[in-house]
Chains A and B, each alone.
Chain A
Amino acid sequence: MNRMIRYKVWACVWVAMMLLAACYSNNCPLENTVTCNYAFYDSEGNAIAYGDTITVTTLMPGYKTVYIYRKLGNLTVTKEERDEALIEQGYTETVTQQRRDTVLINQKYGASSIKVPMSYFHEEDTLVIAYKSISLRDTIKIQHSSFPHVELPECGTYRFHSLRNITATDAAIDHIEISNPTVNYDGNTNVKIYFNGVAE
């Protein structure tokens, strides 16, 4: 009888082992988007939701041709294609070369943080923050180094970054600092932006 019980115990152990071996999972990260995370604070260091609509663009390599139309008493219009209609309306046209850019965050309102991707192969990224309530813009320059990261071969390749230096203009920004220089998919805050003014 004891022997039978012993055999049953061993059988159960083996079945459990086989079931464990049959389960498969991998250690690939679920959150796998690598972004530089910016958190917003007031000038005294209180976390805030910024009460303006912001648009973030980044400068890209190369130049593009832009057409600038000006008319006294009207807002300046900038277009990437020639507009004959504006000339007929009396606008003066100026053709110039500008750095190429692309919009990363489009008209975000009340944000307390933003997530911005970083370039893989450039030493410096330039972000331009445009505000809806003020005509001035802020330019943030981030110097960083990038390196590939392989968690596991089956998970693919990611590009991590290490922040070295960051500077910003002072249209709406009081000051800026790096809080965590390693940019990966962990979701930690990398940069703190302190805006002018104090939250009430």
Chain B
Amino acid sequence: MTVMRKYLTTHHIIATILWFFAIAASAQNEPQQQQTLMPGEKPKPTKYVAIEEQKQHLVLFQGFTLSVDAYGPVAYAVSDYGTLEAALRLNLKNTFFPIVEMGYGKCSKEDFNTKVSYKVNAPFLRVGMDINMLKDKFQSNRLYLGARYGISKFKYDVAGPAMKDPIWGGSESFSMNDIDCTSHWAEFIFGVEVKIVKNFHMGWAVRYKREIASTKSDYSKPNCIPGYGYTTNSTCWGGTYSLIFDLNWGMKKSHKRGVNIELRDIPQTEINTNNQQEENGEGKQNGTEGGEKDGREENDEPTKEEGGETL
């Protein structure tokens, strides 16, 4: 009986939590219902600004982000190959994200059956672009598709057990060091990114990689390319788990941690309406200053209605 009561209680709590989140989530999709006004209170001005129109108000330069990958070191700890990498990303209109990724890859393995070992430690570079696929470009969470071109110039070592000549006889072990190689590859990326706190985001990405070309050597071909991974197949999969920090380089103080909006692009009629509202003392409720969107600093995910108030 006690167990039954406990079981019911636990499930009731979970159901209540799920119901609460479901209500909260569905509320975002439902149209705003008419507010009940107290006597003497005037209705808040609401104005729908189309998403396409909102995009026009976005300033091209939205700042830089610096990110580090948490997956690479973990991968090296539990397998033969891993990376240590960081990326600098430019935010253009919250839509296009040109990115430069630099890192250091390390691989050290020995095949169980053949006893042939392979070692490489070298830096790599990737350049490319991510595109935010979400319709609402104002929110901090992103779902993106991207592409990269990667290059690494490295030297690798291969060593193996003694080779035995089956006809003429004799045996000799071999060790080939510092074999020069330059590899090029392409990556296609699908990833998500969510805001954790003010300037800090986290996100993961899945990467589909294809080797374009590698320098050929008489002695061997690279088994593992820093930044790319294993060359056992002509394509491979990879992943990153990024810790992302917003940088405030070149951002106006009022726009830090927010979305940079171009006021002059907004139609004159909207500004006149807002001015009129401010004169009526309604704009002061948000503490707006000089028409800028300081209200967004408190809430970085402005709704359509907020956009109307700020504008």
Q: Which residues of A contact B160 (CB under 8 A)?
A: 148, 150, 157
Interchain nearest-CB distance for B177 vs A (Å): 13
Shortest distance from the beta carbon of A149 to any chain B beta carbon, whole Å: 6
Residue contact A160 to B218, C-beta cutoff 8 Å:
yes
Q: Which residues of chain B come closer than 8 Å to A60, judged between CB atoms?
A: 167-169
| A119 contacts B113, C-beta separation under 8 Å | no
CA distance A71 to B9 in the complex (A): 111
State the majority secondary structure of interface residues on A. mixed
Flag if B114 contacts A119 (CB, 8 Å).
no
**Residues on the A chain within 8 Å of B167, using CB:** 58, 60, 102, 104, 117, 119
Segment of A19-27, A45-53, A81-89, A128-136 in the binding face: A19-27
Asked if residues B168 and A119 are in contact (CB atoms below 8 Å), the reply is yes
Closest to A104 in B: B167
- Asked if A25 contacts B233 (CB within 8 A), the reply is yes
Q: What size tier do the contact residues of chain B reach? A: 20 to 34
Number of interface residues of A (CB under 8 A): 29
Name the residue of chain A whose CB is nearest to the CB of B233: A25
Q: Which of A21, A26, A58, A157 has the most CB of B within 10 A?
A: A157
> Residues on B close to A: CB < 8 A?
109-111, 113-114, 116-118, 158, 160-161, 163, 165, 167-170, 172, 174, 176, 206, 208, 218-221, 223, 231-234, 237
Beyond A121-B170, A147-B219, A148-B174, 19 additional pairs, beta carbon < 8 A: A17-B208, A25-B233, A26-B233, A27-B231, A61-B169, A119-B165, A119-B167, A120-B165, A148-B163, A148-B219, A149-B219, A150-B219, A152-B221, A153-B109, A153-B110, A153-B114, A154-B113, A157-B114, A159-B163
